[in-house]
Structure 1
């Protein structure tokens, strides 16, 4: 479970950072159905691309922690779920978007519960490892200070 959390956290981080950078660099050209949306939407898209890249970097920072702390995992997964709720609101107010946006919505609804369930996996694994280590003996790979 801890390895799954680490893998998914890195995958989310790299994917979001890459997607954000694509939006920052390509603007409306990267959004299905928005190529002629105009400069206001292009400006918004590029700004939000930078924010989404930062969101990806936050996932990568979280994934690099040993053990992965549950609070940032829950917060980042909650933000992802909030984005899905925004898409649902848009669906209700503005209507059906491009099919690809519906695929993204499905992903955004499916992943947060997985992250919520796995949020404590790495800290639990670290606690089990610490309990299994005999008192007074350093764990393999541990450094003495």
Structure 2
């Protein structure tokens, strides 16, 4: 389980960092359906991209610790889950977004429980 958690956390971290860098570099062009959203959304998207880089690097840091800090993994997974909940809220309030956003929502809602489970396994294994 430790190897699975470490590998998944590394993949999560590097994917988030890369996605964040793409948002910083491409602005609105990085968001399906938002290419003509205007300079305010472009500015916000680039800023949030930088925050996503930091979020991804926090995952990478956690994955490199020995043992992997289960509490940190839970917090990072909870933030990801909150993003998925935010997408559901947006769906309810504003309607159906671009299809790719729905795929991301599924990932953001399914992956955190896996991280919670793996973090628990890691913590129990280390405690024993």
- 1:14 matched to 2:14? The reply is yes
Cα distance in 1 for partners of 2:123, 2:81 equals 23
- 1:46 matched to 2:41? The reply is no
Write out aligned runs for 1:102-113 (5 A). 102-113=102-113
Task: Report the Cα offset of residue 122 of structure 1.
Answer: 3.0
Task: Report the Cα offset of residue 2 of structure 1.
Answer: 1.0
Tell me the TM-score normalized by structure 1.
0.85
The superposition leaves residues 26-78 of structure 1 with CA deviations (integer Å, 9 ceiling, x where unpaired) of 00011111000000000000000000110000000000000101100000000
Point out where structure 2 has 5 or more consecutive residues left out of the alignment: none
Find the residue that maps to 1:120 and give its secondary structure. helix
Give 1 or 2: higher helix fraction: 2
Task: Report the Cα offset of residue 4 of structure 1.
Answer: 0.6
Point out where structure 1 has 5 or more consecutive residues left out of the alignment: 129-145
Aligned residues: 128
Task: Report the Cα offset of residue 127 of structure 1.
Answer: 4.3
Q: Alpha carbon RMSD of aligned pairs, Å?
A: 1.0
- 1:27 matched to 2:27? The reply is yes
Q: Answer yes or no: is the 8 Å Cα contact 1:69–1:120 preserved in 2.
A: no
The superposition leaves residues 96-140 of structure 1 with CA deviations (integer Å, 9 ceiling, x where unpaired) of 000000000000000000000011333433445xxxxxxxxxxxx
Tell me the TM-score normalized by structure 2.
0.96
Show the counterpart of 1:119: 119
Rg larger for = 1
